[in-house]
Amino acid sequence: MRLDGQVALVTGSSQGIGQAIAIRLAQEGADVVINYRSNPKGAEETLEKVKAAGGSCHMVDGHCDSIEGFTVQADLGTMADVQRMVADSITHFGKLDILVNNAGVEKNADFWDVTEADYDAVLNVNLKGVFFATQALVKHLRDTKRPGKIINISSVHEELPFPHFAAYCASKGGLKMLTRNLAIELAPLGITINNVAPGAIETPINTKLLNDPQKLGALLQNIPLGRLGKPGDVASIVAFLASSESDYVTGTTFFVDGGLLWNYQEQ
Ligand code: BGC
């Protein structure tokens, strides 16, 4: 399997896209750290599926090995939590190879009504948390002289305006430049970093939209492939980016959006 013997940390993996990624990486042979903030039940569900994904045993270096999972509570918007999460992951598995910065939040408000608290909630999780989780992994890889893979779950909104979500767009635009910058700075260490940018995916972040037939219909009109994405559509490209098949790929963004981003048609 493509990720045999690797250890991956997936932030925000108690539900949605993060949960699908954790399960997919386990299916590829990785041991997985499952991070959650406020949904321990969801994290336990992910853990069960991660363990089941590997079957009873797979071969690593001629030995029968089982897929392991480990759950860790941490708020990605809090520096101390971020550092504890990475340190606990390394202590538990003895190392960390792959970081998937998936946790993210969005808040819908007119620009003039956005509060400092909401701005901080979005920027702290979506950008500051990514920045310092990545820094903690990079220090570990540098000190142990090993290569690694960082995959950020961004959004089509790292490029595309999303009125009423100004802080969210600022965070994802920031993530785009962080990835480009780190691709250059981390290349000499053998570390690659890429973004995966989903469009509209059926997940809890979209609950309101999914329950509003009018809004949903209008959105579907904008998606050339004519459907919302599934978490698994995102997880499969993350698995590729986490594997050695993508060794020559860094600093780039992969859109998983059914064609949404570049869809413009004259009526
Ligand atoms: C947002 C969703 C939105 C989708 C397409 C995602 O980044 O989280 O709320 O529906 O982009 O606009």
pLDDT interval class at 254 (50, 70, 90): very high
The pLDDT, as a whole number, for residue 61 is: 76
Distance CA 166, CA 25 (A): 32
Which domain CATH number covers 110?
A: 3.40.50.720
Q: Return the ligand 1 atom nearest residue 209 CA.
A: 10
Please compute the mean of the pLDDT values over residues 33-51 and round it to a whole number: 98
For residue 57, the model assigns a pLDDT of 66
Distances from the Cα of 63 to the Cα of 7, 11, 60, 70, angstroms: 17, 29, 5, 21
Q: What is the per-residue pLDDT for 15?
A: 98
Residue 146 banded pLDDT, cuts 50, 70, 90:
very high
| Number of domains composing the chain | 1
2 domain-assigned: no
Segment 22-40 mean pLDDT: 98
CA of 46 to the centre of ligand 1 (A): 23
Is the CB of residue 157 below 6 angstroms from any atom belonging to ligand 1?
yes
Tens of pLDDT along 105-123?
999 999 999 999 999 999 9
Q: Decide if pLDDT at 58 tops 80.
A: no
Residue 214, domain member (yes or no): yes
Domain annotation covers residue 242: yes
Residue 42 lies in a domain: yes
Mean pLDDT computed over 258-262: 98
Residue 59 pLDDT greater than 90, yes or no: no
Q: What is the rounded average pLDDT for all residues in the chain?
A: 96
Distance CA 11, CA 33 (A): 8
Label residue 55 by pLDDT band (50, 70, 90).
Answer: low
Please give the pLDDT value at position 267.
74
Ligand 1 neighbourhood includes 171 CB (under 6 angstroms): no
Q: How confident is the model at residue 233 (pLDDT cuts 50, 70, 90)?
A: very high
Q: Is the pLDDT of residue 36 over 70?
A: yes
Tokens of 150: 């960082």
Just list the catalytic residues. Answer: 168
Parent domain of 187: 7-256
> What pLDDT is attached to residue 160?
98
Q: Is residue 167 part of a domain?
A: yes
pLDDT in tens, 157-180: 999 999 999 999 999 999 999 999
Q: What is the DSSP string of the chain?
A: -TTTT-EEEETT-SSHHHHHHHHHHHHTT-EEEEEESS-HHHHHHHHHHHHHHT-S-EEETTEEE---EEEEE--TTSHHHHHHHHHHHHHHHS---EEEE---------GGG--HHHHHHHHIIIIIHHHHHHHHHHHHHHHTT--EEEEEE--GGGTS--TT-HHHHHHHHHHHHHHHHHHHHHGGGTEEEEEEEE-SBSSGGGHHHHT-HHHHHHHHHT-TT-S-B-HHHHHHHHHHHHSGGGTT--S-EEEESTT-TT-----
- Cα 200 to middle of ligand 1, angstroms: 5
Mean pLDDT to the nearest integer, 116-137: 98
Residue 172 Cβ contacting ligand 1 at under 6 Å? no
On whether the pTM is more than 0.95, the answer is yes
Residue 1 lies in a domain: no
Q: Is the pLDDT of residue 65 over 90?
A: no
Asked whether residue 266 is assigned to any structural domain, the reply reads no
Please report the pLDDT score of residue 62 as a whole number.
77
264 lies in a domain? no
From 155, 225, 230, give the residue whose CB has the most ligand 1 atoms within 8 Å, as the site to mutate.
155
